[in-house]
Amino acid sequence: MTQPDIQAVKNYLLNLQDNICRALEQEDGEAKFQQDEWQREGGGGGRTRVISNGAVIEKGGVNFSHVFGAGLPASATAARPELAGRSFQALGVSLVIHPHNPFVPTSHANVRFFMAEKPGADPVWWFGGGYDLTPYYGFEEDCKHWHQTAKEACEPFGNDVYPHYKKWCDDYFFLKHRNEPRGVGGLFFDDLNEWGFAKSFQFMQSIGDSYIKAYQPIVKKRKNEAYNEQQKAFQEYRRGRYVEFNLVYDRGTLFGLQSGGRTESILMSLPPKVRWEYNWQPQQGSLEAELYEKFLIHKEWI
């Protein structure tokens, strides 16, 4: 197994953050990302970039972090007890985009690399990441484009890769207490090392590079759709599901908080305005009902 090249991973991730921010600023046409560099007391740091109150993006963040330390938090060693007592490094880019227009879906993506070491033993390392789409009003052509782009990113690595990671995404981004998916899925992978470092790194790059190809055309197509206050209220209601998932289930949120990460950067993924309604139900035959019936279901989009 090829030895990991952490500097190459870091260089790629920093460039990916730049490229995604540049493309999103271009699509917004008004707002710019504000950068906040930070240092972690236990080791490492990052650069948080946040965009808000733009023409298209209500709030978004594209974060890079590289943290390291002498020991792992409980969220990591609970699932992998063999990592206890090892030093660690974790690098990644993570992003969430919350648009103004309820016809533009929220999107989330991250790609990351993790390594744990101790003297006299081979390093334990893996790649992870993926992306998923959370529409408020469904358009089948948008979902097909999203999944087709994801499939094309996976194809050079085997015909079974997209179906496997698509299902993993469906299973992961699922709110068990609501018995519903968070959105229409995409890709999710973790613990990837069986291909060796070079191929695994190539795969992570393919996924990272394909995110903006998947999302930007959808934003461009939907950002000028007319909407009303009722549709905006429904978007804010559905954003509540996003908050619930991130605070109850999301591994990255738990790892970040337990490892002493920067709270402001970890929670930048939360939307600016959210509402919860008691026992709300969509009106039969409405576009809101259609979201539940035709889009918030596990299905093969392509």
pLDDT in tens, 144-164: 999 999 999 999 999 999 999
Element (H, E) at 188: strand 185-192
Annotated ligand binding at 110? The verdict is: yes
* Model confidence band, residue 209 (pLDDT cutoffs 50, 70, 90): very high
**Cβ-proximal residues to 198 (8 Å cutoff; 6+ apart), any chain:** 2
Q: Out of 100, 108, 145, 298, which one is annotated catalytic?
A: 108
CA distance 180 to 178: 5
Pick the CATH number of 6-295 from 2.40.37.10, 3.10.20.30, 3.40.1500.10, 3.40.50.720: 3.40.1500.10
Q: Where are the domains of the chain?
A: 6-295
Annotated ligand binding at 100? The verdict is: no
Q: Is the pLDDT of residue 184 over 90?
A: yes
| pLDDT score for 133 | 98
pLDDT in tens, 273-297: 999 999 999 999 999 999 999 999 9
Q: Evaluate whether 281 touches 289 at the Cβ level (below 8 Å).
A: no
Question: Which two three-digit tokens encode residue 39?
Answer: 């240092």
Element (H, E) at 110: strand 106-117
Annotated ligand binding at 147? The verdict is: yes
Query: Distances from the Cα of 20 to the Cαs of 139, 153, 295, in angstroms?
Result: 24, 17, 27
User: Looking at residues 28-55, what average pLDDT do you find?
Assistant: 94
| pLDDT score for 2 | 64
Question: Which two three-digit tokens encode residue 48?
Answer: 């948080």
SS3 273: coil
Q: Evaluate whether 56 touches 27 at the Cβ level (below 8 Å).
A: yes
User: Closest Cα partner for 280 from 248, 246, 238?
Assistant: 238
Average pLDDT, the chain: 93
Catalytic residue check, 164: no
Element (H, E) at 278: none
Annotated ligand binding at 56? The verdict is: no
Q: Is the pLDDT of residue 10 over 80?
A: yes
